[in-house]
Homo-oligomer: A and B are copies of this chain.
Amino acid sequence: MSSASARKGDLLRLSTLFVRTLREDPADAEVASHRLLLRAGYIRRAAPGIYTWLPLGLRVLGKVEAIVREEMDAIGGQEVHFPALLPREPYEATGRWEEYGPNLFRLKDRKEADYLLAPTHEEMFTLLVKDLYSSYKDLPLTIYQIQTKYRDEARPRAGLIRGREFIMKDSYSFDHTDAGLDEAYQRHRDAYERIFRRLGLEYVIVSAVSGAMGGSRSEEFLSPSPIGEDTFVRSAGGYAANVEAVATPVPDAVPFDDAPAAHVEDTPDTPTIDSLVELANARFPRPDRPWTAADTLKNVVLAVTHPDGTREVLVVGLPGDREVDVKRLEAALAPAEAEPAGDADFAAHPELVKGYIGPAVLGPQGAQVTDPQTGETRSAVRYLLDPRVVPGTRWITGANVQGRHVFDLVAGRDFVGDGAIEAAEVRAGDPAPDGSGPLELARGIEMGHIFQLGRKYAQALGLTVLDENGKQVVVTMGSYGIGVTRALAALAEANHDEKGLAWPAHVAPAQVHLVATGKGAEVFEAAESIAQGLVARGVEVIYDDRPKVSPGVKFADAELLGVPLLVVVGRGLAEGVVEVRPRAGEARQVGVDDVVEDVAAQVEALLA
**B-contacting residues of A (Cβ < 8 Å)?**
1-4, 16-20, 41, 44, 46-47, 50-55, 58, 61-62, 65-66, 69, 76, 78-87, 102-103, 105-107, 109-110, 115, 117, 124, 128, 131-133, 141, 143, 146-148, 150, 152, 154, 164-165
A80–B107 touching, CB < 8 Å: no
Of B79, B110, B165, which contacts A2 at CB under 8 A? Answer: B79
Known contacts A1-B1, A132-B20: does B80 contact A55 (CB below 8 Å)?
Answer: yes
A61 to B79 CA separation, bound complex (whole angstroms): 12
B69–A53 touching, CB < 8 Å: no
The interface residues of chain B lying within 8 Å CB-to-CB of A103 are 110
The interface residues of chain B lying within 8 Å CB-to-CB of A83 are 46-47, 50-52, 165
Of B17, B44, B47, which contacts A86 at CB under 8 A? Answer: B47
A44–B78 touching, CB < 8 Å: no
Given A18-B143, A53-B80, A85-B150, 18 other A-B residues pairs in contact with their CB atoms under 8 A: A1-B146, A1-B147, A2-B3, A3-B62, A3-B66, A16-B76, A16-B141, A18-B132, A46-B83, A50-B85, A52-B82, A52-B124, A58-B81, A102-B110, A107-B117, A109-B152, A110-B152, A110-B154
Rounded to whole Å, the gap between the CB of A552 and the closest CB of chain B is 20
The interface residues of chain B lying within 8 Å CB-to-CB of A148 are 84, 148
Closest 3 CB pairs of A and B: A107-B107, A3-B3, A53-B81
Candidate in A18, A50, A132 with the most chain B CB atoms within 10 angstroms = A18
A52–B80 touching, CB < 8 Å: yes
A165 to B150 CA separation, bound complex (whole angstroms): 15
Of B85, B132, B141, which contacts A164 at CB under 8 A? Answer: B85
Known contacts A80-B54, A148-B148: does B124 contact A19 (CB below 8 Å)?
Answer: no
A44 to B130 CA separation, bound complex (whole angstroms): 12
Of B2, B46, B102, which contacts A82 at CB under 8 A? Answer: B46
A143 to B19 CA separation, bound complex (whole angstroms): 11
B165–A81 touching, CB < 8 Å: no
Of B65, B82, B109, B117, which contacts A85 at CB under 8 A? Answer: B117
A79–B52 touching, CB < 8 Å: no
Known contacts A85-B50, A165-B84: does B44 contact A58 (CB below 8 Å)?
Answer: no
A61 to B148 CA separation, bound complex (whole angstroms): 17
The interface residues of chain B lying within 8 Å CB-to-CB of A154 are 110
A17–B78 touching, CB < 8 Å: yes
A117 to B105 CA separation, bound complex (whole angstroms): 11
A131 to B595 CA separation, bound complex (whole angstroms): 37
A3 to B58 CA separation, bound complex (whole angstroms): 13
Chain B residue at minimal CB-CB distance from A82: B52
A27 to B76 CA separation, bound complex (whole angstroms): 33
The interface residues of chain B lying within 8 Å CB-to-CB of A3 are 2-4, 62, 65-66, 69
Known contacts A84-B148, A87-B46: does B51 contact A19 (CB below 8 Å)?
Answer: no
The interface residues of chain B lying within 8 Å CB-to-CB of A165 are 83-85
Rounded to whole Å, the gap between the CB of A109 and the closest CB of chain B is 5
The interface residues of chain B lying within 8 Å CB-to-CB of A69 are 3
Chain B residue at minimal CB-CB distance from A4: B3
Of B58, B81, B85, B133, which contacts A79 at CB under 8 A? Answer: B58
The interface residues of chain B lying within 8 Å CB-to-CB of A132 are 18-20, 41
The interface residues of chain B lying within 8 Å CB-to-CB of A106 are 107
A-B pairs with beta carbons under 8 Å apart, 30 shown: A1-B147, A3-B3, A3-B65, A3-B69, A16-B76, A16-B141, A18-B78, A18-B132, A20-B133, A44-B128, A44-B131, A46-B87, A47-B83, A47-B87, A47-B115, A50-B86, A52-B80, A53-B81, A55-B78, A55-B79, A84-B84, A84-B148, A84-B165, A85-B105, A85-B165, A105-B115, A107-B107, A109-B152, A110-B154, A148-B148
A146 to B148 CA separation, bound complex (whole angstroms): 13
A44 to B76 CA separation, bound complex (whole angstroms): 22
Chain B residue at minimal CB-CB distance from A133: B20
Rounded to whole Å, the gap between the CB of A74 and the closest CB of chain B is 13
The interface residues of chain B lying within 8 Å CB-to-CB of A52 are 80-83, 124, 128
A55 to B73 CA separation, bound complex (whole angstroms): 12
A427 to B381 CA separation, bound complex (whole angstroms): 81
Chain B residue at minimal CB-CB distance from A10: B73
A85 to B132 CA separation, bound complex (whole angstroms): 31
The interface residues of chain B lying within 8 Å CB-to-CB of A17 are 78
The interface residues of chain B lying within 8 Å CB-to-CB of A18 are 78, 80, 132, 141, 143
The interface residues of chain B lying within 8 Å CB-to-CB of A86 are 46-47, 50
